[in-house]
Structure formats: structure tokens, C-alpha cells
Structure 1
Amino acid sequence: MIAINNLTFEIGARALYDEANWHIKPGDKVGLIGANGTGKTTLLRIIVGEYTPTSGTVSMAKDLKIGYLNQDLLSYESEKSILHVAMEAFERQNQLHTEIESLLKKMETDYSEDLINKLSDKQMEFEALDGYNIEYRAHEILAGLGFDDEQQHRKLSEFSGGWRMRVMLARILLQAPDILLLDEPTNHLDLPSIKWLETYLQAFEGAIVIVSHDRYFLDRVINKTVESRKGKLTLYAGNYSYYLEEKALRNEIQAGQFKNQQAKIKQEERLIERFRAKASKAKMAQSRLKALERMERVDDVDDDNPTVNFSFKFSKQSGRHVVRLEDITKAYPGVPILKHTHAVIEKGDKIALIGANGKGKSTLLRIIARADQDFEGKSETGHNVTTTFFAQHQLEALHLDHEILQELQAFAPKHTETELRSILGCFLFTGDDAFKKIRVLSGGEKSRVALAKALTADANFLILDEPTNHLDIQSVNILIQALQQYEGTFIAVSHDRYFLDSVANKIWYIEQQQIKEYPGTYQEYEEWAAKKQPIKEKQVVPAQPKKEENKKSAHPKNETVDKQRQLQQMNRELNTLEQEVTSLEKELAALEELLADTEIYNSPDKLQEINQQYQRKKAELQEQQTRWERLAEEILDFSE
């Protein structure tokens, strides 16, 4: 499908890739991983032709259809609805639709056979390309990514960058490419949308290459892992968890080989030194020295997983109750968020606040942090509670002209330079990196600086809003270690499930404008939630890239769309039956009240009439209930 051979790519004097090789095969689902700065995004740009390699080749079929999601798409502007923007994926279908409309207009005055034949040909091609279902498919994918019916008809320009990126992702998925290149696709998705995308990509039959820091997402989607490291691309034949196990095994073997080789080198050096002084052995010593110089050296294993080696201390211990929320009500114009809800955060709680975007997670954090006072009810901070609030907007509050170390010194003057440099080292700022100006840092590096500041604060309560955004897997692991060592209390919002499962001992979620709590880890919550909602959610099956043998088909059928339409029709019938059952139950209740009235027994004819009505309605209700149960079972079977 795509063959990368002896690829070298240089930036100035630095070789980002040095004779790297990788063959992407049909059906491969690959996680492209590596620390920030190792060239993952650059490699995707080389594949799509945006960058030209210094040497080596990237080969692929000319008709290979590539769908590429990258962060540059955030700059896409349009005054059209997001449904229209998503449907731009159907370039040929849209062109045919315009041509058909034009031909139909001409036929109002021109009935020539030539015009009729043209129209027929266009309509046949439009039908063969499934043109009559493209709006339905766009609607379904946008719904899966979190857009309701009303939002789909709003202008793209009305949405923030994160929501625009979802629209771009929808457009790419609708193109049904042969290979998807996805650069951090979960960055702007909430948990429900991430789960939807996982299921969608699992069913996608084309090849996929994903750059992501979300370990759970990678484990659920990919079947191969490629590590970008030291200019090379190393393949592991499994998902991310397999990669960790296999790499540990390879490192163990390499460490053993390095140790044995070093022992052999020292032994050879002692022999050479001993024999060099003897004239009779000098020639042999010289020969062994040359052999030693020619020996292919085994590298020692580099530690790619730095550990946090400092303790987080605070001068005051908080009281038992850290925050108490009483009768909290919060709403924006036309959007209720919280309504008369209560909650308590106790000392030692490690809370993960989860849920879909728009449910009020960040709003609740601001209420807890006292950053939002515009609400009804009472938010009370407990005795001796000292708080630090980390949110993405705090990256903008960094002093751009400060050096990294200077920024921390200004924020935490009680810490020594040695302590601060130790903290920075844990966040991957080593040596002279501490003297870099804030303004030259990437988004991920700024996030690490802001997090380092938050964790140097003398605070026994941390409020963390999306702390894992812009962090690579290595940096997320560092944050996990830091929070596992932290002896205070914290509440965190994140869509990184591995992070949440590693640090939280309680789960909060907002349901029907109420704060709900699950007393356990994220994994335990997931298992509990799955049992609570056993019926599977409707999932859109991706349109697949056309296989070679199907290209001659004039009228391909979309069985998935037919199935979805049939399921929708069944659900409509079920809703109608529910309404009829409810109506009959009300009528029966009214008749029962009449039959319970003793005065009616003074009129035998009236009693007989009402009793007959009651028996008819009762039989009708039983019939409708039986129909409802049968249809409900069919829907459940059909959804499997």
C-alpha cells in the first residue's frame, strides 16, 4: 500500500529520520508513537507529500485515496452549515446533484432525447454512488461525534476550534479513503465521542495510522505499533500494551548483550595490555586490538521512562471536608447546567469528573475553585484548605519573556533552585532546557511548565481541568506518578481514560443536572455503567473503501443504510405503540372509576354499556401490549 524505503529527512544539521524503513499494508491499523519531537507529525506530512525527504523514497499507488486529519484543519473557515461542510466529502455526488438539477430545469422547455439520455446517465451514476443517502450518512456521523440535529444546521463559524475539528474529522470519515492518517484525533473529543470513534475505526476495513497519546484508544483500535526513535522506525506486531511488554523484553535482552559485551571488551583490553609488553606476543596483541576496534558495539539501553523523584509537600493539612456544595443551581441563557444539587469533597479524595462536553464539567470546577460566583446555592471551602486551579487558559498567563526556571522561581520562591530544577527534570526539562524562554516553547511544553507550577504550589487541594491536553504518553506518565505520590486532595477533568484509571478513587458525573458519585476506580465505573445500560447504542458502520473486485459494479447497495432505515422505522412504530398503550391505559382507568361509582348500578343499561366498553378496551390494550413486546424484542435482536 505504502512503502517507505531508506527515508532520511534533515532539519538543518539534525537528521529527524536516518534511512528509516516501513511498509504499510492493506488493513493495517497502526499506532505511530514516540516522544514529542521525534517526527511523528512530520512523517505523516512526508507521506501525503507536504514535505520532501532529503533522500529515500515513499511509494504508493497513484489512485490511493488518503484521508489526513491534522491540526492545521482548525483554521478552516466557512459560513455554511456543518452538515453542508461535512457533505463536501462527496465531491462527485455534489457535482452530479448540481448537474441533475440543471438538466431538470432545462427539461421544463426542452424535451429532446439527448437531454433525456444525459439526465438518465447522471441519475444512474448518482444512484451508483449512493447519492440519495449521503445526507443521511453525514447526519449519522456528525451525531456520533456529538452534534445534535439543531447544531448540524448551524454555521461552522459559530463553533469553537475543538468542535470545528470534529466536523473536519466527520468530512474525512465520509470520504471512505483507502487509508486514514489521524494526528491526535481524540484531542478535541469527549469520552462518548471517543468511544464512538473507537467502534467506528474498529469496523473500518481500510488501513489506519494514528498518532495519539491516548493509550486506551490505541489499545482498542490498533493491531500494530511503530515507534519513532533516534531516526528509525521500529515495528511491534501488536497494540500499545503489547508494545510495552515486547519493548521491555527487547530491552532486557539488549541490556544482557551490552553487559556481556562490556565484560568481553574489558577482558580483551587486559589481555592486550598484558601481551603488548612482550615482544613475542606483540603481533598477537596488535591483531586482537584491531579485532576489538572492528567489533560492532551493542548500545546500552536508554531509560525512556523517567520517574518522579521528589515528594510534594504542603505546610497545612486540610480539615475533613475540603469543599461542600449545597443546593447549587447554575444555568446559562436557555441552557440549564446544575439544579438544586449537593456534593462533598473529603480529605484524600482523588476525583475524576467525567461526561460529555456541554454537561458542565468545567463550570463545576470553576464553582469549586470560586472562579465563578454567578450561581445559586452555597459553595463552602473547608478548614485550612489551600487551592491551586490548573486550566488551559493558564498557559496564556505564562510570562513569555521569562525563562522556564525563572517562571517557577517567581511562582514558588520558597523552593531552592536545586529543588525547582529537580521538578523541571521530571517534566523533561533537563540541563540547559531550564533556561529556554517561554515564548519559544510548543503547546505541550507550555502545558508541562504550567503543570510544574501547579505542583510546586503550597496547596493541599488541586483542581485540574484537562491537564493531559497537549501531553505525550511520556509526560502523561510523569503526571500520573506525581499525582499518585500527592498526599492531598484533587478533582480532575480529562478524556484520557488511562490517566483517570491510574489516579482516581472516586468518579463524579453530571446526570439530569445532578452531581452523581461512583465510589471506585474508572475501570470499575465503566463495568458498572455497562451493566446499568445493557442495550447497545446504535453505531454507524463506516462506508468502506471500494475493493478492486467491486469497482465494476454499476449499482452498489448500501446494506448498512437500509438496515439503519429499517431500524428507524421500527423505532417509530414502537413509539406509536407506546402512545397507544398509554392512551388505552388512561381510558381503562377512567372506565374503572365509572364502574366503581355505586350510582351507576341504579341504571342496568348504562352499567352494561360501560362494562362492554371496558372489556373491549381491555382486550385492545392486551393486544397492543403484546405487539409492543414483540416489536421491542425484534429491535433488540436487530440491533445486535
Structure 2
Amino acid sequence: MENLSIKLTNIRHSFGAKELFSLDSLTVYQGDRIGIVGPNGQGKSTLLKIIQGELKPDTGRVQRAGEFNFFRQSAEVAEINLATIDWELMGRFFVPKNQVDTLSGGEATKFRLAQVLSSYEAGLLLDEPTTHLDQASIQTLIEELRYYYGTLLFVSHDRYFLNQLATKIWEIEAGKITEYSGNYDDFRQQKELENLENERAAEQFMKEKGRLESAIAKKKAQAEQNKKISLKKKQQNIRPDRLSSSKQKETVQKNLQKSAKAMESRLSQLEEKKGSQAERTLIFPPSKTLELHNKFPIRGDAFHLKKGEKVLFDRCDFQFGLGKRIAITGKNGAGKSSLLQSILNNEEGIVLSPKVVFSTYYQMSYKISGEQTILTYLMEQTEYKEPLIRSILHNLGFSQLEMTKPISGLSGGEATRIQIALLFTRPSNVLILDEPTNFIDLKTLEALETLIGAYPGTVIFTSHDRYFVEKNADEIYEIKDFRLQLS
């Protein structure tokens, strides 16, 4: 018999005027490994805090068997009791023995993970544990968690991480939490089946609605015709032997009207079914001014780069092909972002085609302000026609109504999606994306992949997200031994 680890009963919780959760009952059993997904701003981190007891829900009861360790998405790195740390794990994470205030973002994340994992409790809560981690560190974390036999709940947008560890998926959206069995790929298959069923239900609804509306119109037309005939007969001299025939026609008319009202009642009781919105096909118009003919528009010729006393690249040669999707991978601190910056600045050792026009993406690198609508804001910064801009916004999850929303009222997640939209609305022939998968939810991530697939130019990106890299890259380069090595 399974032992209960967590039980949530009648949980209701709001943030301001927005209701985050409304759930009757949710249970977790010992040994469950639950990946929590959903759009940004839906309350994933809040849910972990409620389970941990750091936050009290507006209503409801939280039951938890035993203590839980908690890795927070963002927290200060604190000095530790050296006797309690697992130094072997610190070594496998390659955390340097520096002062904590000198650690990089990735090193700080690994340091905090090692702290949390150094002591064993019956439960473990992880909030975005792979943020800032390179692929090697993510794999180390996966291997460490494989041997954790307690209850594991974790929030993540990393699909590879979810696939490797989750045996259940909780999807949080629109105040509801839905449980799916299996890992992320299993979850996607179940969602696709749900969407297919919804499409069929929506199609059946439209057919039944059309059938009833047609039948109602026909019955009303028959009743109206019968009424005209009856009125005409009344205006004539009706012989006694024809009186019964007139009354029969009035009865038929009433029956037709009654039948029409019955069908109208049935129509009003039909439960409307809506299918999922299909993505609009994106076709970026060709531009003579942006057309490149150089087979390798970006090259490295004995490229050498130092940061302080640290050599990142030493006489490195490379060439990035026209129209290719190129991923740059490597350990934290290997020089991925520095390489992209050197390309953008056309520094010594970088050879660019004269007609290269860049469009760049840096996570939350600016603030949006102003009172113009989202659509107007983007139209002011592009040469493309409005239908294409609407298609880009649609693919990023903006409804027609939301496109008229003022940019001053955007949430953080919406601002991120606008930043991605800007990347594609500014005419260019080379995209540069530095860690685009950090902090964006899975729906936005999938929308970004659709846009990259439709983009006609060259794309160069860095990412620690293995799933994203493998799905989108034609060529994968790893920074190793001060060179770019093709994987």
C-alpha cells in the first residue's frame, strides 16, 4: 500500500485580484517524482512554498509527512557549516573553493544545490534547479537525483531534465492543476490526444449547432407560410364543411411553432466546445537588401580572446554557413557569451560579410514603457506588413484582443514574449540569441522554436538546454581547449 507524503485539500490562493489556485484535492505518495510545468505567472513557485509551509494558502489544508529540503529559484548564497557539506558532490559540480561572493551565477547555483543535497530528508522541493547550469552540471544533478529515494517535486522548463526524472507531470494553468502520468514526452502525447478530442468535440458541436439552426429556420418558415394561408382563408367566406380544414391548419401552425421553440431550447443548452487555436504559418518575405551570397557570412581567422588573465580562444578558426542553425555549447565560463559579443562587435579575428545585419536577444536586457498598443509598438519598429506581425504575436500566444493592450501594462512574461517578437520583426539576416531558454515557460519556448524554424537567415545561439539544442541546431559546436569543436 502506498504511503501518503503530501495531501492538499480545498486549497484556494490568490495574488491580488488574480486567483492562482482552486483545487479540491491533490495527493503525493512517497517516492513520487513530479515535474511541475505551466506558463509563467501561474503560481508554480507559490505552490512549492505552500507545500513547504513558508506560505499559508487563503483557504484549505496542507498535510505533509516528514520534513522537506527546499531549493529556491533565487536566494543569496550563504556561508555554511563546513562539517555538513558533501565535499565529494561539490567536487563533482566543480565548485571552486572561493569566497561565496566571488562565485559566478552557475557556480552559485551549484553551491546552493550542494548545500540542499548534502542532508537527506523524506522530501525534496526544487524550484528551477537547472537555471545557469551548463550541460555537464545538469547531467551531474540528474545522476545525483536518480539515487534520491524520497518524494521529489520540481519546477522546471528544461524538457530533457523533465524527461530524465519525472514519473508524473503537474500542469498548472488558469487556476487548475492537472496530473498526467509519465515524463514530459508522455505528457505531450497525452496533451496532443486531448487537443484531438477537443477538436472533434468542437467539430461535432458546430455540426449539431448548424443542424439545429437550419431546422429551426425551416420550422419557422413553415409556420409563417401556414399562418399566411390560414389568414387568407379567414378573409374568405368559409363554408361549414371547410371549417375543420382551417382549424387543422391552425393546429399544424402551432405544432410547428412549438417544435421550433423546443429546438431553440435544445440549441441554448448545447455546451459549446472550442478547439485549440492552430498556429498560423509564418512566411518571412524575401528582401533584396538583406540577401547574402557569401557561403560563410561569419568566420573566425586565428581568433584570439582573453578576459583578464584568462585565455578563452587561442588562434581559433571557424566558419558558420549561410542559413545554418548553429549552437554554441560549453561549460560555464568557457566563453560562449564572449564569442557572441566579439561577433557582434566585429572584433579582431572575426570576419563578417559586409551585408550581415544582426538581430539580437538577451534575456530581459531592457524595459518596455509607453502607452501605445503592443501591435502599434511592433509596427513602429519593422518594415514588415501587419498580417505577418499579427502572425508572430499569435504564435507567441497573444489573442487579437491582447494585441491592443498598452505595453505599459505588460507582465514580465508578456514583456519577454514581446522581446522575442522584436527579434523577428526587425529585418535581419543573422539572429544572435544568448541563452534564450532561461526563465521562459514551455509554451513560449515552443513558440520560439516555431519562429526559428520559419526564419530564413542564419541563427547562432548559446544554450544549456539539451532538448532545445538538439531540436533546433543543424551544427553543434563545443568550446573546448580554446577552440570551437564540431560535435
TM-score w.r.t. the length of structure 1 is 0.63
2:450 paired residue among 462, 468, 481: 481
Q: 1:558-589 deviations in whole A, cap 9, x for unaligned?
A: xxxxxxxxxxxxxxxxxxxxxxxxxxxxxxxx
Residues 310-339 of structure 1: per-residue CA shift (max 9 Å, x gap): 426443222222122111222223322111
| Aligned twin of 1:352 | 327
| Structure 2: distance between partners of 1:317 and 1:366 | 23
1:246 aligns with 2:190: yes
Match of 1:21?
25
Could you tell me which amino acid in structure 2 is paired with residue 67 of structure 1?
Answer: N
Q: Which deviates further from its counterpart, 51-60 or 360-369? A: 51-60
Deviation (angstroms), 1:279:
4.7
State the alpha-carbon separation in 1 of the partners of residues 444 and 177 from structure 2.
21
Which of 368, 386, 390 aligns to 2:357? It is: 386
| Alignment partner of 2:485 out of 516, 535, 538 | 516
Q: CA deviation at 1:37?
A: 2.9
Partner-residue secondary structure (3-state), 2:57: coil
- Residue 294 of structure 1: CA displacement? 6.5
2:128 corresponds to 1:144: no
How far apart are residue 359 of structure 1 and its match?
1.1
CA 1:293 to 1:401, structure 2 compared with 1: closer, same or farther past 3 Å?
Answer: closer
Aligned partner of 1:390: which letter? Y
Q: Is 1:502 matched with 2:471?
A: yes
Q: 1:328 to 1:256 in 2, by over 3 A?
A: closer
Q: Say if 2:174 is the partner of 1:230.
A: yes
Match of 2:365 among 396, 411, 436: 396
Moved more, 441-450 or 474-483: 441-450
Instruction: Report the equivalent of 1:2.
Output: 6
| Amino acid aligned to 2:31 | G
1:59-114 deviations in whole A, cap 9, x for unaligned? 223xx2112222341xx254x4xxx36x5xxxxxx6xxxxxxxxxxxxxxxxxxxx
Deviation of 1:501 after TM superposition, in Å, equals 1.4
The structural deviation recorded for 1:363 is 1.3
**Contact 2:125 2:152 survives alignment (8 Å):** yes
Q: CA deviation at 1:16?
A: 2.5
Secondary structure of 1:196 counterpart: helix
From 294, 307, 311, the equivalent of 2:284 is 311
SS at match of 2:315: strand
What is the distance in 2 between the residues matched to 1:438 and 1:258?
33
Map residues 389-428 of structure 1 onto 2, 5 A cutoff. Answer: 389-392=360-363, 395-401=364-370, 403=372, 404-405=374-375, 407-412=377-382, 414-428=383-397
Q: Considering only aligned residues, what root-mean-square deviation do their CA atoms show, in Å?
A: 3.1
Query: How far apart are residue 357 of structure 1 and its match?
Result: 0.8
Counterpart of 1:195, as a letter, is: Q
Which secondary structure does the structure 2 equivalent of 1:490 belong to?
Answer: strand
Give the alignment of 1:566-605 within 5 angstroms.
none
Query: How far apart, in 2, do the equivalents of 1:272 and 1:30 lie?
Result: 51
Match in the other structure for 1:203? 147
Counterpart Cα distance in 2 of 1:28 and 1:312: 49
SS in 1 for 2:112: helix
> Could you state the TM-score of these two structures normalised by the residue count of structure 2?
0.82
Distance 2:154 2:268 in 1: 42
What is the alpha-carbon distance in structure 2 between the residues aligned to residue 29 and residue 484 of structure 1? 33
Cα distance in 2, alignment partners of residues 7 and 366 from structure 1: 48
Letter in 2 for 1:192: A
CA–CA distance in structure 2, aligned partners of residues 299 and 270 of structure 1:
19
Deviations 1:407-430 (A, max 9, x none): 534533x23455434333332333
Q: Contact 2:280–2:391 (CA<8 Å) still a contact in 1?
A: no
Q: Work out whether 1:177 is the aligned partner of 2:121.
A: yes
Q: Does the CA contact (< 8 Å) of 1:355 and 1:361 recur in 2?
A: yes
Describe the superposition over 1:467-517 as per-residue Cα deviations: whole angstroms up to 9, x where unpaired: 222211111111111111122112110111222112211111122112212
CA distance in 2, matches of 1:27, 1:415: 53
Q: Deviations over 1:518-569 (max 9, x none)?
A: 3xxxxxxxxxxxxxxxxxxxxxxxxxxxxxxxxxxxxxxxxxxxxxxxxxxx
Correspondence 1:55-204 to 2 at 5 A: 55-61=59-65, 64-73=66-75, 76=76, 78=78, 80=79, 84=80, 87=82, 134-135=84-85, 138-147=86-95, 151-152=96-97, 154-204=98-148
- How far off its partner does 1:220 sit? 0.8
Q: Where in structure 1 are there 5+ consecutive unaligned residues?
A: 88-93, 95-133, 519-640
Partner of 2:297, secondary structure, is: strand
Q: Return closer, same or farther for 1:427/1:257 CA change in 2, 3 Å cut-off.
A: closer
Between the two proteins, what is the percent identity of the paired residues? Answer: 29
Structure 2 counterpart of 1:158, which letter? T
Consecutive unaligned residues of structure 2, counting only runs of 5 or more, are 224-252
User: What is the letter of the counterpart of residue 140 of structure 1?
Assistant: E
Verify the 8 A CA contact 1:254 1:298 in the aligned structure 2: no
Asked if the contact 2:77–2:112 (Cα under 8 Å) also holds between the matched residues in 1, the reply is: no
Matching residue of 1:40: 44
Q: Which amino acid aligns with 1:464?
A: L
| Cα distance between partner residues in 2 of 1:240 and 1:386 | 37
Matches of 1:472 and 1:503, distance apart in 2 = 17
* Max Rg structure: 1
Q: 1:410/1:298 Cα in 2 relative to 1: closer, same or farther (>3 Å)? A: closer
- Against the structure 1 CA distance between its residues 39 and 269, is the aligned structure 2 distance closer, same or farther, given a 3 Å change threshold? same
Give the counterpart of 2:340 among 350, 355, 365. 365
Give, in whole Å, the separation in 1 of the partners of 2:269 and 2:387.
43
Query: Which one has a larger percent strand, Structure 1 or Structure 2?
Result: 2
Is 1:466 the counterpart of 2:468? The answer is no
Q: After TM superposition, give the deviation of residue 399 of structure 1 in Å.
A: 4.4
- What's the CA shift for 1:398? 4.1
Which residue pairs with 2:303 in the alignment?
A: 328
Instruction: Measure the CA separation in 2 of the matches of 1:370 and 1:411.
Output: 22
Q: Equivalent residue for 1:302?
A: 276
CA-CA distance at 1:282 after TM superposition:
7.9
The offset of 1:387, in angstroms, is: 2.1
How far is the alpha carbon of 1:12 from its aligned partner?
4.3
